[in-house]
Amino acid sequence: MRSHTIAICSAVAVCAAMCACSGNSTETKAQTDSVGVIDTNIVQNIPEYRLEDTLTVQGSLYTYSISFQNDKSAEVIRNTEGIRYYDNDVTLTIYRGNSDEVFFTHTFTKDSFRRYLPENQYKQFTLAGVNFNYMEQGHHDRFHFIAAVGDPDETLGITYSIAIDISKDKTISMHKIDNIDTAPISEGMCVDPGEDDA
């Protein structure tokens, strides 16, 4: 059975949370000098991570897997502070029950969300993360996720949140949102408490 491995507190602080939960790699440490100043000659990266958990949609159990990885083949971005970063992509896979039978899989990139971002800042942004959308955890009609796209320097707080809804017929719909909550209040929030509301 796949287990829940990580939770992210908010999409605004998603970069910081990913770094904290994933740990600091030696590559990341090597990119800053002794006083914490980032070397602009080195391309920075947001640590890669993987999330897994279960959820219930229309009375059926599913397991989702989110794999966040640096895309070193994509164009390197330069953020508002002039620091270079690798862009990222996220592969979302949904399995039936606790099995390895794939129900849905899709890889999202920053370009997947371009229509929801200000065009004059688009080149300075990166895909910062994707997680289960706990704001919609009580709605069991479809799969609800949330993406964070923005400046990779989380201290600047320039992040846009986009809801990703996937229907049982595998149709993807998206919209920009302001209210976010990507952390569970308690264990078992993904499990339908009763099949009657499905």
Type of residue found at 136: E
The predicted pLDDT at position 180 comes to 55
Please give the chain's pLDDT, 198 residues, in tens. Answer: 333 323 333 333 343 333 333 333 334 433 444 445 677 779 999 999 999 999 999 999 999 999 999 999 999 999 988 999 999 999 999 999 999 999 999 999 999 999 999 999 999 999 999 999 988 877 888 999 999 999 998 777 789 999 999 999 999 999 998 755 444 443 444 444 444 443
The predicted pLDDT at position 64 comes to 97
What whole-number distance in Å separates Cα of residue 184 and Cα of residue 8?
9
* Structure letter (DSSP) for residue 180: -
**In a 3-state reduction of DSSP, which class is residue 156?**
helix
Dihedral angle, C-alpha 28, 31, 33, 38, nearest 10 °: -110
The model's pTM is: 0.73
The predicted pLDDT at position 36 comes to 59
- Beta-carbon-side half-sphere exposure of residue 9 (alpha carbons within 13 Å): 7
Q: Which two tokens stand for residue 151?
A: 């400046």
| Closest to 145 in 3D by CA, of 3, 1, 14, 2 | 14
Q: Which two tokens stand for residue 165?
A: 């809804």
| Closest to 137 in 3D by CA, of 93, 181, 172 | 181
The predicted pLDDT at position 188 comes to 45
The predicted pLDDT at position 179 comes to 56
Type of residue found at 177: I
Burial annotation 51-68 (CB, 10 A radius, 16+ → b, else e) = bbbbbbbeeebbbbbbbb
